[in-house]
Structure 1
């Protein structure tokens, strides 16, 4: 299984438009972050987790030629706004399967109604195949996918476990029975917004505590804001098995 970090930034990305914050002015490519998303390649299938506003740029940067599914964590703009840009894949492959909670599908239908309609569809509009998921495992071409349920302040979000890999973004609180789904992981990806506490995201200290609780072999931090600090400086402060993810990083699981 290969995991590509397409974007590792928070909702505004880094640099933020018009910002003179030192991290936003950094020349280090690892301090430049598109909106958060990963692509998992398993058995020649490309699975995208979240399709945000930088989707087109991310596909071009990684020379992606096929998209087999989109798994949605939740409906916020930085995780969904790129759906229209699936058109090149749709024209080659047909309807693109999307997997999401019914609430998220409802939000997508409202925002992208022209994609979801079945009658009098606008020529050139892409199409999707809806797959409603609940908090129970489902199969994707023989791969068992286990949703992990947690809260982003007051909004329900799904993370996903695929074999020995798990991806959790926009996490703030989680029940013990959901944490149990994360045992014996080789790789955990977890969001860590910044140093200071935040009302709807784990900060760095909270993310490190969570990693210590789950005890994966290796962990990567994502959904990072400019307020985290410079990539290289924070990376040096982390334990040997924990890393800041960065855009276009590829790992094998």
Structure 2
């Protein structure tokens, strides 16, 4: 199967508290290395004709400014946790310049939270300046955003189902600690995998570093990047020396052309 060329930008690679974490004096949070500065996890996916974001967390406004995003066709959501949905109000700027509602793709569970968190966006009586959002319900059926085919991959965040997504040769998985065999089959054949690994120690609902490495090696992905990293993982430069070939930590601002 042929896929359109895609540009992937890592908008954020940090966990829910970000790195540095507020009030923390640990060596990672105090590191001067730019790769140890991590906004909440999100990516930008761009073809020649379409631009979409995966998730819109608390740092969404700054991420759009930092990446110089002038037009956004859609936001595709993985799940309803605050660090993935809290910035949705800032689509108002895109509404203003495009004079179009923002297309939002999310499962029913995530939509319920979006409507509860941003009820004013769905009032029947409108007034100027409200965010305009067009909700589309997704399940495990592949769908199109412009000319980009999106294939959902269901993963488990402890007991919460979370949507990962495959875009051609690239697969993005965040907030997971278990992937069932049938869903792993959707990932196989990817050239690049992005996978959450919170820290080196085992966690109740995120992959640890060793668990993430095991998943990448099991699926035989040529290049894997880890995301959703906490300050507990350690400094970027130090952890990089411990990783097998073809596996690296992601960092904010990393750009892939596939």
* Residue correspondences, number: 252
Q: CA RMSD in A?
A: 0.9
Do 2:50 and 2:147's aligned partners in 1 also have CA atoms closer than 8 Å? no
Q: 1:175 is matched with which residue?
A: 180
Q: 2:101 is matched with which residue?
A: 95
Q: Say which SS state the counterpart of residue 85 (structure 1) adopts.
A: helix
* Residue of 207, 226, 229 corresponding to 2:231: 226
The alpha-carbon deviation at position 144 of structure 1 amounts to: 2.1
1:89-128 alignment, distance < 5 Å: 89-93=94-98, 94-117=100-123, 119-128=124-133
Distance of 1:221 and 1:14 partners within structure 2: 15
* Residue of 155, 158, 161 corresponding to 2:160: 155
Q: 1:194 is matched with which residue?
A: 199
Distance of 2:205 and 2:215 partners within structure 1: 15
Aligned: 1:74 with 2:98: no
Do 2:152 and 2:166's aligned partners in 1 also have CA atoms closer than 8 Å? yes
Q: Give the alignment's TM-score, normalised by structure 2.
A: 0.96
The alpha-carbon deviation at position 246 of structure 1 amounts to: 0.5
Aligned: 1:252 with 2:252: no
Q: 2:3 is matched with which residue?
A: none
Aligned: 1:51 with 2:56: yes
Q: Give the alignment's TM-score, normalised by structure 1.
A: 0.98
Distance of 1:216 and 1:39 partners within structure 2: 21
Stretches of 4+ aligned residues off by more than 3 angstroms = none
In structure 2, the gaps of 5 or more residues are 1-5
The alpha-carbon deviation at position 115 of structure 1 amounts to: 1.1
CA deviation map 1:206-230 (0-9, x unaligned): 0000001111121110000000000
